């Protein structure tokens, strides 16, 4: 990632905290960048955060807590664990302290856990932004699939196909992939991508 883009990301980070009337603790932006640059990551990186923030720009009147939640939602990521969202939310709460903002951000991060059910409009928004990659055009979607495979390099092909099939099928089986009105237009493309990926996994099993 270029130095110019990092400067822009830092500006967005600081603006989100300023909009929330909270001073970002010194070194937090750098600590987050270090997390998103961890060598075991291929998809859950600053590229993903930058894309999430780009999607957020298309949404009107979202509270600053949404941007802050997006910054922290994958702060802790280990593909071999099932509690990444909880650990990321706990770290955000540690940074934000005992505040209403911390409560909001924690709930928004937990809403990104696959299978989470929420009726709160902004929690749904964060979850939808996180899944907007499913509706990416080519070649970004194929790049995303390859990045995910690299993150799960510890699994052999058969195990990976089984786990990936289960997850992608859980998305395609939803009545709506996206709960927010702003992202409903992505449904058709996301379903086409999912269908292609699922079919590829099925063919790979044969």
Please state the rounded mean pLDDT for residues 129-145: 98
Please state the rounded mean pLDDT for residues 168-187: 96
Tell me the pLDDT band of 198, cut-offs 50, 70 and 90: very high
pLDDT attached to residue 117: 83
pLDDT attached to residue 25: 86
Residue with tokens 């702003």: 182
Q: Are 34 and 1 in contact (CB under 8 A)?
A: no
Q: Is the pLDDT of residue 16 over 60?
A: yes
Q: For residue 44, what are its two tokens?
A: 């859950």
pLDDT attached to residue 62: 97
Please state the rounded mean pLDDT for residues 157-185: 96
C-alpha torsion angle, residues 58, 60, 61, 62 (rounded to 10):
-30
Rounded to an integer, what distance in angstroms lies between the CA atom of residue 25 and that of residue 95?
7
Give the N- to C-terminal CA distance of the chain in Å, as an integer. 39
pLDDT attached to residue 205: 65
Please state the rounded mean pLDDT for residues 37-49: 98
What's the whole-number average pLDDT of the chain?
96
Query: Exposure string (b/e) for 74-98, b if CB count within 10 Å is 16 or more?
Result: bbbbebeeeebbeebbbbbbebbee
Residues in contact with 169: Cβ distance below 8 Å, sequence separation at least 6, in sequence order: 198
Tell me the pLDDT band of 27, cut-offs 50, 70 and 90: very high
Closest CA to 153 of 43, 76, 17, 70: 43
Residue with tokens 């079919």: 199
Q: Is the pLDDT of residue 190 over 60?
A: yes
Rounded to an integer, what distance in angstroms lies between the CA atom of residue 17 and that of residue 40?
29
């Amino acid at each position: 990632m270029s130095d110019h883009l990092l400067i822009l990301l830092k500006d967005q980070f600081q603006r989100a905290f300023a909009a929330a009337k909270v001073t970002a603790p010194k070194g937090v932006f750098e600590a987050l960048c270090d997390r998103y640059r961890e060598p075991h990551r291929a998809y859950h990186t600053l590229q993903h955060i930058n894309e999430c923030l780009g999607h957020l720009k298309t949404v009107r009147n979202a509270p600053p807590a949404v941007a802050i939640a997006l910054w922290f939602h994958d702060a802790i990521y280990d593909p071999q664990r099932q509690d990444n969202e909880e650990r990321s939310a706990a770290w955000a709460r540690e940074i934000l302290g005992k505040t209403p903002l911390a409560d909001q951000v924690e709930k928004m991060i937990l809403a990104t856990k696959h299978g989470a059910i929420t009726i709160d409009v902004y929690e749904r928004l964060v979850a939808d932004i996180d899944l907007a990659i499913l509706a990416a055009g080519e070649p970004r979607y194929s790049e995303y699939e390859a990045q995910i495979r690299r993150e799960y390099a510890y699994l052999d092909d058969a195990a990976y196909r089984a786990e990936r099939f289960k997850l992608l099928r859980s998305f395609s089986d939803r009545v709506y992939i996206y709960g927010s009105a702003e992202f409903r237009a992505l449904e058709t493309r996301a379903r086409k991508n999912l269908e292609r990926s699922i079919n590829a996994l099925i063919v790979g099993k044969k």
